[in-house]
Structure 1
Amino acid sequence: MKGVVFNLLEQAVTDAHGADAWMDLIDAAGVDGTYTSLGSYPDEEMFALVGAASAALNLPPEAVLRWFGQAAMPMLAAKYGGFFEGHANAESFVLSVNDIIHPEVRKLYSGAGCPHFHFTHEPDGQLIVGYHSPRKLCHLAQGFIEGASAHYGQSVEVTHLACMADGNPICRLGVRWAA
């Protein structure tokens, strides 16, 4: 996993709980904790940090990942504002992930292993988001969707219709923005 993701997690934890909390999390996770944005680090280190946060906060790892995605979105908007320009709403932004955002991420961060998304619009207005990644971080993706919605001033409801953690080949999220 790219160091920029670890940097975002560090900033989110530090902003919400202080610098000591980040150091405590590193100690509890048993990781080095020194991450450069362009570096690549084992996925297990992110899972260890999420697990340590889960234990410290008495929350399921899925809730920690959702919180992280929500907290990271304002930081991403501040740092990579160009990705957010030209989108009138969160749905337009989310739909641009495969074609605009992830190719640029791969240019900026060589070797980035981005997830792949499939999108289907249902007749009732719901967007079905298919998520596939060997990391199985669909709850982080949900947090990013929720964070993007907050960025665009929209309320959103996300439901898990299928999950790789339950043995499904892909995760399917039902996304519905308020009118």
Structure 2
Amino acid sequence: MKGVIFNLLQEVVSAAHGADAWDDILDEAGVSGAYTSLGSYDDEEWETLVETASARLSLSRGELLRWFGQEAMPHLARAYPVFFEGHVSSRSFLAGVNDIIHAEVHKLYAGAACPHLKLRAIDAGGVAMAYTSQRRMCALAQGFTEGAARQFHEVITFEHAACVEKGDSACVFHIGWPSLEAAAND
């Protein structure tokens, strides 16, 4: 996993709970905490940090990943404004994740194993989004999606329709934009 995600977790935890909380998580996890954005780190170290942060913040793994995704979006927007340029909504932002954002991630961070998102239109302006990742962090994908909606000052509905954690072959999300749905019905 690329160091940029570790750095982002540090920023989010420190902003919400203070730098001491992050230091405590590092100490409890038994990791160095010296992550460079371009560095690559073992997925097990990430999972150790997530497990430790979950316990420290009294959240399940899924709750922590979702919270992290939601809170990370403003940090991402400041650090990588180019990823947000040209998008007027979270829907267009999500549609560009694979072709624009993940393509740029691969340029910046050689060897990055990005998740793959496949979107298809469904009823009244919504989308079904299939999420595929070897890391099985669908809660993080949900948090990023919700964080993107907040970044664009939108309200969305989010249904986790299928999940590999529940034995399904893939994770599938149904995402709706009530304001678009209302406009379509007018």
TM-score range, shorter chain: over 0.9
RMSD in angstroms over aligned alpha carbons? 1.0
Question: Percent identity of the aligned residues?
Answer: 52
Write the deviation string for residues 54-112 of structure 1: whole angstroms up to 9, x where unpaired.
11222111010011111111011111111111111000001100111101000001111
What residue ranges of structure 1 are gaps of 5+ in the alignment? none
Moved over 2 A (4+): 123-126
AA partner of residue 115 (structure 1): P
Per-residue displacement from partner, 1:118-153 (whole Å, max 9, x unpaired)?
Answer: 111112332111000110011101111111100100
Shift of residue 168, structure 1, vs aligned partner: 2.0
Aligned to 1:14: 14
In the other structure, the counterpart of 1:2 is 2
Secondary structure (helix, strand or coil) at the match of 1:158 reads: strand
Output the TM-score relative to the length of structure 1: 0.96
Name the count of aligned residue pairs.
Answer: 179
Residue in 2 aligned with 1:106?
106
With structure 2 as the length reference, what TM-score do the two structures score?
0.93
The structural deviation recorded for 1:30 is 2.1
| Cα distance in 2, alignment partners of residues 25 and 178 from structure 1 | 38
Residues in 1 aligned to 2:8 and 2:98: alpha-carbon distance in whole angstroms = 21
> In the alignment, which residue of structure 2 is the partner of 1:131?
131
Match of 1:88 in 2: 88
SS of the residue 2:88 aligns to: coil
Q: Which runs of 5+ in 2 are unaligned?
A: 180-186
Asked if structure 2 preserves the Cα contact closer than 8 Å seen for 1:154 and 1:178, the reply is: no
Equivalent residue letter for 2:50: V
User: How do 1:7-156 residues align onto structure 2 when only pairs under 5 Å count?
Assistant: 7-156=7-156
Q: Which has the larger radius of gyration?
A: 2
Kept in 2, the 8 Å contact 1:26–1:33? The answer is yes
